Amino acid sequence: MILIGNAPVITGTKENPLIPDGCVAVDGDRILETGQTDTLRSRYPDSEFVDADGCICMPGLINAHEHIYSEFARGLSMPYDTPHGFLGVLENIWWPLDRAMTPDAVQASAAACLIECIKNGVTTVIDHHAGYGTIGGSLSLIAEQARRLGVRTCLCYEISDRDGQDKCREAIRENMRFIDETVREDSPMLRGLVGLHASFTLSDGTLDAVRSANTHHAGYHVHVAEGAYDEDLCREQHGCSIVERFAREGILGPDTIAAHCIHIEDSDLDLLRSTGTMVVHNPESNMNNAVGAPDILAMRDRGITVGLGTDGYGQDLLRSMQTANILQKLCHQDPARGMDDAWSLLFEGNPAIASHIFGLPVGILAPGAAADLILARYTPMTPLTRDNYRAHMMFGLTGAQTDSVMIGGRFVMRGRKLLAVDEEEEMAKARESASRLWEKF
């Protein structure tokens, strides 16, 4: 048993959200109890004690929509001007990059990305992989790195018609092979979903083939109405909205993640709510691609589960939460809305999504929950109380302040030092692999 104490403990629960002189008791891979430090030390006198040493203890962060393979786009020198329009960005940057992925690049980018996740306090990653240069076995390569680094992951392969039917069918096989692997392994650290790109690169025939192949009845992870072009084309070709099309095709449901959901209407919101579909907001990516901003306030007011992701735009989920806050204030021209909603994306929506996918409580510090927690080195300049701790997290904390990380009851980082791998060596390998990838690009 391990006790982590002498810290303000932010539990993520409604009943006892902040324990000022708090302690977390960890037994195996689960949390046994939270409470006052003196109380738990007295109750479990033979336990190992970890002094938080001035850090804040909080649940490990969850990235509910990520693209691990995009890690090697950082610093990429473009052979042409940055394209205008979201479709141009896809056709000239992301799709050529994923076509250049080799097995080595898949592994190296995964290791680099997951290291950055740990260093930003991210303990669970729900990823959406694309790499049409290497399809078969690619999800297992990523899973291997996740096991090595100790990060809880849910993976899928992005099925799409964009590179022709042969590769589309190979992508379907890879996705279903990996889901079968995760079902047989039955690990609380690994799950699989069916990845779909977006409506405009998915024919009715492809959706039929996916449904037929999905013998485990796994949920879907799909981009929905991210760009206006996608929504307009769906209405032109199918006579309905993307949300309506996916509902009709059986893609939506309580096991499905719909990323983005920007260009949608009230009737679409009603469909998302009635099907129980989970939505993930990606504020920094949406702003960077100039595709717009979803009305997450309307979604949450309707009772839709809404989480937070980065969509490949870095790994600092606290920064993404802060961006979501000011983006909603700007879009609604209302400074009174945004903060609690943005906080809830990361600390209510994401735990709800991850807990549903992994089948155990994830993203909270409570008895029976996964022992995923972080210690963040933060010295508040004003009092930290039960009434204002959310504001401290919104305006004071960043992922870079993460000092130590525990995942599944095991420390993977202490004092900013990774315990499972040599960070310097891993980053050197990543730079070499990225250089080779850039030559192909």
pLDDT average per 10 residues of sequence, the chain (441 residues): 97 95 97 98 97 96 95 73 73 78 93 97 97 94 97 97 96 98 95 97 98 97 96 97 98 98 97 98 94 94 97 95 95 87 96 98 98 96 94 95 98 97 95 86 73
Q: Read off the pTM.
A: 0.96
Rounded Cα–Cα distance for residues 384 and 388 (Å): 6
Q: Quick check: helix, strand or coil at residue 25?
A: strand
Rounded Cα–Cα distance for residues 324 and 344 (Å): 11
pLDDT at 78: 66
Neighbouring C-beta atoms of residue 179, cutoff 10 Å: 25
Phi, psi angles (nearest 5°) of residue 125: -125, 125
Q: Are 142 and 106 in contact (CB under 8 A)?
A: yes
DSSP 8-state symbol, 16 = S
Rounded Cα–Cα distance for residues 86 and 425 (Å): 36
User: H or E stretch including 159?
Assistant: strand 158-159
pLDDT at 248: 97
pLDDT at 338: 78
- Please report where in the chains the tokens 């000092």 appear, as a residue: 403
Rounded Cα–Cα distance for residues 323 and 312 (Å): 15
